[in-house]
Structure 1
Amino acid sequence: MTEKLLKLRGNQRELARQKNLKKQQELSKSKAASDKNGNKGLSLEERRQRDADIMRQKQMAAVSGKVEGKEGAGK
């Protein structure tokens, strides 16, 4: 009989672990942008400026890649 109780308690503990893990994952999903590692210490305006700079660099790289591709095709 004690063996059955141990098995049940072990299962209950495992279920509690799974429930807690799921709860922690849900909490981590609902973090604000300012709480995430890449954004710590930055204000909203600073994050926007950083992201805009990154997008400008990507766009310039894409445009220069297209220009180089057209020049190479004509030769």
Structure 2
Amino acid sequence: MTRGNQRERDRERAAARKPNAKGSQDGLTPEQRRERDKKALEEKAAKKAQQAAGGGTGTSTDNKNKGGGKK
């Protein structure tokens, strides 16, 4: 076994780098969490619809040849 406890140490380091991880420690009930997520999704959808209607920056529609592959 060449790796020893490296995986475990890497997991601990990754967890230490993200102390504000979303999870059950946010202090919300499942109902509150659903409401929060629903509101965030609605805002995201409205923003996306606004960009589509107004043109926005056009980053997703103007990059048709982004791949640069040969034909």
TM-score with structure 2 setting the length = 0.47
**Bigger helix fraction:** 1
Larger radius of gyration: 1
TM-score with structure 1 setting the length = 0.45
Which has the higher relative contact order, 1 or 2, with Cα contacts under 8 A spaced 6 or more apart?
1
